[in-house]
Amino acid sequence: MKYIINLNGNLFLLIFLISMVHGISQNKKTKKPNFIIIFTDDQGYGDLSCFGSTIVKTPAIDGMAREGTKLTSFYVAAPLCSPSRAALMTGSYPKRVDMAYGSNFVVLLSADSKGLNPDEMTIAEVLKDAGYATGIFGKWHLGDQPDFLPTKQGFEEFFGIPYSHDIHPQHPNEKFNFPPLALMEGEKVIEMDPNADFLTKRITERAVGFIEKNKERPFFLYVPHPLPHKPLHVSPPFMETVDESIKDELKKEGEGVDYKTRDLLYPQAISEIDWSVGQILKTLKNLGLSENTFVVFTSDNGPAVGSAGPLRGGKGTTLEGGMREPTVMCWPGVIPAGSTNDELMTTMDLLPTFAKLAGGKLPQDRVLDGKDIFPTLLGNRKSPHNTFFYYKGNELSAVRMGEWKLHVERNKPEALYHLGSNIGESLNLLGQNDRVVKKLLDQIAKFEKEIRQNSRPAAYVGNPVALKK
């Protein structure tokens, strides 16, 4: 009898251990993934070495591509800062949320009365409601008044600047009379005119600290770097490779900022951003979080200084170079490693995709333009988008359907390109494909009617004031 009791005890122990291992395994499988979006400013399609650049070197981002996928038809919803960021945050075209244009300029400026409506449900709010820690470290640019700050849009932590770092008193356009640039912590200004040479470094340190602090819970980390927007700045270690003649010219800046000479720092600015990506990825690896973290690297619009590679156009245009972005997504063991995906996807898709993966709830009282692209990323499905619309401000400038792209001016055909055979938009086929043109014009008319019927207002405040410490 004693032997039987021991056997039963051992059986019980064995069953208990198996159930524990199974439980741990199941918990690992069902644990909510972390999400990181690294969003640069004014970086071109040709400004990653994994996208063919021989001018810039991006070993960390190239490593992401080896462990994940390159997206070669990934779009932002506008070719400028504020509207592009509004689309990312809301999963909607900027015109739908009345953020396609600033109050009196193409983007929001300092002490602007306009901002992203607090009633919008941002990607941060959806994930926060799903139990996520949320943090933004970098550039916001969706309103600098108290009602419009990131902390009013689902972010628990904010460290960075409220708009582009060129919105300062040294701006070369004399028509602007900008106040000093504010550096913020949460809703409080902690510094005025921070040294822009150290912005990338400081943002990176805070992003790493956020990961370390929230390693035991799911988190959403948004890192919108102010660079490589002009004027270009890098920290001292990245100045070591700069030609001495350039350094000598920069020493003559005095109280101003020599934008033209600083343009020559572009390779170094990209190198420091790549270093930043490497620091974030290394932190994930050291904490054992890599296999449970979905990382996205992309930019807000095309280049002002850099290269659009094979694409035509750049920042501010609805040509491919203005809105098709160099994008890498990585989730080791989940997203196919070393792959290239040419399906049409957009920044607007990140909100519904992350919500689905996190078990979050999307708002049901409004139209979203983004779609769940996770099956497309896995290679299991074609793009969920039948069409993509290119806006410049509030004007619809082009539409893509399949490989065809039609440029219009006030809804009248201007140029027709077949992107599959002519990615550089150099061969105008207008006049040779009337049926295609009619089909695309019909799509424009249908969408413009729909967006008029299902749009939402931005928000405004009275008597906006410049930020002060």
Catalytic residues: 81, 141
DSSP 151: G
Closest C-alpha to 229, from 183, 321, 166:
166
C-alpha span between 331 and 348 (Å, rounded)? 19
Is 91 buried (19+), middle (13-18) or exposed (0-12) by CB count in 10 A? buried
Q: Look at residue 391 and give its three-state secondary structure.
A: strand
Element (H, E) at 11: helix 2-30
202 three-state secondary structure: helix
User: Residue 249 burial (CB < 10 Å; 0-12/13-18/19+)?
Assistant: middle
Tokens 């799903």 sit at which residue? 130
DSSP secondary structure letters along 253-281: -TTS--HHHHGGGHHHHHHHHHHHHHHHH
DSSP 3-state assignment of 210? helix
Instruction: Specify whether the CB–CB gap between 153 and 116 falls below 8 A.
Output: yes
Q: How far is CA 200 from the centre of its chain?
A: 16
The torsion angles phi and psi of 407, rounded to 5 degrees, stand at -90, 140
150 touches 140 (CB < 8 A)? yes
Q: Which amino acid is at 76?
A: V
**Can you read off the two tokens belonging to residue 150?**
């990131």
Report d(CA 358, CA 371) in Å as an integer.
15
CB proximity list for 320: less than 8 A, separation 6 or greater? 45, 308, 311, 312, 313, 405, 419, 423, 424, 425
> Cβ–Cβ contacts within 10 Å for residue 451, how many?
18
Paired strand residues for 409: 412
Residue 204, helix vs strand vs coil? helix
